[in-house]
Every structure is written in C-alpha cells, then in structure tokens.
C-alpha cells in the first residue's frame, strides 16, 4: 500500500489504471460492474476515493505500482475542453472517451448556446467542441466572435455536424474552425486530433493532419472542395 501513502484523496480513472497497471477501460468496466466504487463529477468524469480504492485492492489482493507525475507538476496544467451539444448520447461518448485519454483533460459540457457562452467566459477552455446544428446556435458567428477576440482567439474550435457540404465546410474554415467532423463521430480520430492541436510536440507520434475532409472523419465533399 506504499504508493497510496499520498496526499491525494481522490483518483482519476487514468491514475488508477497507472497504479494497478491495467487499461483505463478495464477500470471503467470494474466501475460499471459494481466492483470498484466511484462517483461522477458534474462534467461526467468518474472519480475514485482513496478509501474505496484501498478496499478494492485489499479485497482482490492486487499489487499497487507508482503514479506518474501529476498533470499539474512542473507548471503543466490540465488542458480544458468544453463540449457543446444537445445530444446527450454524443456528449456522453465524447466525455467518456476523453476521460480515458492519457492526457487527462478537464472536460465540461453545455447543452445550449446560453450556457456555452457562460462556460467560455468562466471555464476558459483550450478546445471548444461545437455542434453547429443546434437550434439556438449560429456556428459561423460563434467561430467569428471567438477568433476575433484577443481573449478567446487561442481557443481551438472543432465543429460537429450531421453533414457538411462544400460551401458550409469552406465557410466554417473561413470563420476560424480548426477542424470539422461529420456525425457519426469518429471518436478515436477526434481524440488524436485534439492531442495534435494541444500537444504539437507529439505530432511525430500522431497521424499527420491534412485539410482533406475525408481524413478528418467528414462526409465526402463534392469535387472541387478545397
């Protein structure tokens, strides 16, 4: 139990996976099966209390390994992602996928344009994942406003849509969208591209990004698209 002699009282899924040397998905499976106690934050992240982890380890006589350096050590802060979508299935899929990502993102969600505006101001995300098909959101105007403000122009904008034709794709890029994805969402590609945007130093180990929509999980565009 030495590695659990820490000031940490709550662990993320990735931290527990490092401690027990199993995959994050295995931890999630144990939680969903009721074998390991956990709770969810308002943003949808699973968290495991130290006491529950110790009880689980003791009950199953499992070895415990050390934790890697925390995400805030050395001045490296956890990157923030805001997901704006009124489809709760999409939101849950993205949140769960990012929760299992080794980069340890901090993720919150918004279900409408009003809440999204508040969260951009207060949460100050590094990445905005935006469904432009929501009834109360003008995706083009959101991109334009964020990219024209000194306070928010650094935010990477990833647009989601049921379908993007040549005109809307080009317009979203013109207004400042960094990436565009068509639904159904290619989650693995989304995670890879988020890492590329936020951690360019890791680009050599990630797939090279291009402006070809087919490479970004988009619906094919008509010939002549740029």
Give residue-wise pLDDT tens across range 73-82: 444 578 999 9
Q: What is the pLDDT of residues 93-109, one digit of tens each?
A: 898 888 778 887 888 88
Strand partners, 10: 49
Query: What DSSP letter does each residue of 75-132 carry, written as one string?
Result: G-PPPEEEEE-S-HHHHHHHHHHHHTSTT--EEEEESSHHHHHHHHHHH--SEEEEET
Strand 156-161's sheet: what is its strand order? 106-110, 80-84, 127-131, 156-161, 179-182
Fold of 2-60: Multidrug-efflux Transporter Regulator; Chain: A; Domain 2 (1.10.1660)
In this prediction, residue 98 carries a pLDDT of 87
Q: What phi and psi, each to the nearest 5 degrees, are found at residue 14?
A: -65, -35
Domain ranges of the chain: 2-60, 73-216
Looking at the structure, give the CATH architecture of the domain made up of residues 73-216.
Answer: 3-Layer(aba) Sandwich (3.40)
Share of the chain above pLDDT 90, in %: 34
Q: Tokens standing for 7? A: 């000031």
Share of the chain above pLDDT 70, in %: 81
Q: What phi and psi, each to the nearest 5 degrees, are found at residue 39?
A: -135, 170
Residues 86 and 9: their CA atoms lie apart, in Å, by 33
The answer to whether 128 touches 158, Cβ cutoff 8 Å, is yes
In this prediction, residue 105 carries a pLDDT of 87
Q: Tokens standing for 153? A: 């122009």
Highest mean pLDDT among 4-18, 34-48, 207-221: 34-48
Residues 128 and 194: their CA atoms lie apart, in Å, by 10
């Amino acid at each position: 139990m030495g590695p659990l002699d820490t000031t940490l009282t709550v662990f993320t899924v990735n931290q527990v996976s490092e401690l027990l040397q199993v995959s994050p998905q295995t931890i999630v499976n144990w939680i969903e099966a009721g074998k390991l106690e956990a709770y969810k934050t308002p943003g949808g992240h699973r968290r495991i209390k130290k006491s529950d982890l110790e009880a689980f380890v003791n009950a199953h006589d499992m070895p415990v390994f050390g934790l890697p350096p925390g995400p805030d050590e050395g001045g490296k802060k956890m990157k923030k992602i805001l997901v704006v979508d009124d489809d709760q299935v999409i939101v849950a899929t993205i949140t769960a996928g990012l929760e299992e990502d080794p980069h340890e993102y901090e993720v919150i969600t918004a279900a409408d344009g009003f809440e999204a505006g508040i969260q951009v101001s207060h949460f100050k995300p590094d990445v905005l994942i935006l469904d432009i098909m929501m009834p109360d959101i003008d995706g083009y105007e959101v991109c334009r406003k964020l990219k024209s403000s000194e306070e928010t122009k650094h935010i990477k904008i990833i647009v989601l849509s049921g379908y993007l034709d040549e005109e809307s794709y080009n317009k979203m890029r013109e207004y400042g969208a960094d990436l565009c994805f068509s639904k159904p969402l290619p989650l693995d590609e989304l995670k890879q591209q988020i890492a590329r945007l936020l951690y360019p130093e890791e680009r050599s180990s990630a797939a090279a990004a291009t402006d070809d929509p087919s490479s970004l999980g988009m619906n094919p565009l008509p010939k002549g698209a740029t």
